[in-house]
C-alpha cells in the first residue's frame, strides 16, 4: 500500500511522498528540492516551547557538521510561518543563535502522512526524525515523546554510518565508532555460502565465520 494511502508511520525504505510546503525560506518541494543529497526532516511539538528551543539551537550549532556530509536540515511543526519566523527571531535576539535551516509551516498534511501527530495531544507533533537518502528513501526514523529532547550527535552519527554503509557494503557495531570490541572497525556482511564462510576467516579478522570485521579502506 502506498504511503499516501496508508496515512500512518511510514516503513523504512519507502519514498517520502512528494509534497509542496511553505517554509521560512519560501515554498519548497519535498523531496525534489533535496534530490541527490541527504536530508534530515524533524518535527517539534510547537514553537516557543522550552525543549524545542534547546533542540533548534543544538541543531543549528551542528548544522555545519551535517553539511560536511552533504546533508541538509529541515524542521516542521503545525504552526503558521509567521510563528516560526517570530520564534527564530526571538532565538537570535535572546540566544545569539541564527537558525539557518528552513522550518515547514505545516497545516497537518505532512504530519499526517508521516505519522507525526502525538496521540492525545490534539494537533501537536511528536519529536520525529526522518533521515532521507539522495534517492528520497527513508533510511532511519526516530520518535521521541514531547518530554524528551533529542541527541543531535546521535542523529549525525547515524547519517555518517548510513553513508559509510552504503559506500562500503558494511555494517556498524553498537556505539560505532567507539565499540567496546571493535573500536572504529566495521562489520563484514554475513557470507552466503560455505565457501565464502571459510575464505573470510583468512581474509578478515574474525571471532567466527559469521562475525568478521575490518578497518575502513
Residues labelled catalytic: 52
CB 213 within 8 A of CB 188: yes
3-state secondary structure of 28: strand
3-state secondary structure of 84: helix
User: Kind and range of the H or E element at 72?
Assistant: strand 71-77
User: Kind and range of the H or E element at 61?
Assistant: helix 50-61
CB 16 within 8 A of CB 138: yes
CB 146 within 8 A of CB 51: yes
Q: Is 30 left (phi over 0), alpha (psi -120 to 50) or beta?
A: beta
Q: All 3 cell numbers of residue 206? A: 574474525
Print the SS3 string covering 100-169: CCCEEECCCHHHHHCCCECCCCCCCECEEEEEECCCCEEEEEEEECCCCCCCHHHHHHHHHHHHHHHHHC
Amino acid at each position: 500500500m502506498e504511503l499516501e494511502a496508508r496515512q500512518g508511520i511510514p516503513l523504512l525504505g519507502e519514498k517520502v511522498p512528494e509534497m509542496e510546503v511553505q517554509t521560512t525560506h519560501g515554498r519548497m518541494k519535498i523531496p525534489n528540492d533535496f534530490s541527490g543529497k541527504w536530508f534530515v526532516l524533524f518535527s517539534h511539538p510547537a514553537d516557543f516551547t522550552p525543549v524545542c528551543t534547546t533542540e533548534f539551537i543544538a541543531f543549528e550549532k551542528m548544522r555545519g557538521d551535517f553539511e560536511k556530509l552533504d546533508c541538509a536540515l529541515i524542521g516542521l511543526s503545525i504552526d503558521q510561518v509567521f510563528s516560526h519566523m517570530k520564534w527564530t527571531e526571538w532565538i537570535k535576539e535572546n540566544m545569539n543563535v541564527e537558525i539557518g535551516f528552513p522550518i515547514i509551516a505545516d497545516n497537518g498534511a505532512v504530519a499526517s502522512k508521516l505519522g507525526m501527530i502525538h496521540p492525545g495531544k490534539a494537533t501537536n507533533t511528536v519529536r520525529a526524525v526522518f533521515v532521507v537518502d539522495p534517492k528520497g528513501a527513508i533510511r532511519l526514523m526516530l520518535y521521541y515523546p514531547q518530554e524528551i529532547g533529542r541527541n543531535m550527535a546521535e542523529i549525525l552519527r547515524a547519517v555518517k554510518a548510513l553513508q559509510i554503509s552504503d559506500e562500503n557494503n558494511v555494517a556498524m557495531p553498537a556505539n560505532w565508532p567507539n565499540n567496546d570490541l571493535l573500536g572504529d572497525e566495521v562489520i563484514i556482511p554475513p557470507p552466503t555460502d560455505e565457501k565464502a564462510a571459510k575464505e573470510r576467516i583468512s581474509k578478515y579478522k574474525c571471532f567466527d565465520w559469521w562475525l568478521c570485521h575490518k578497518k575502513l579502506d
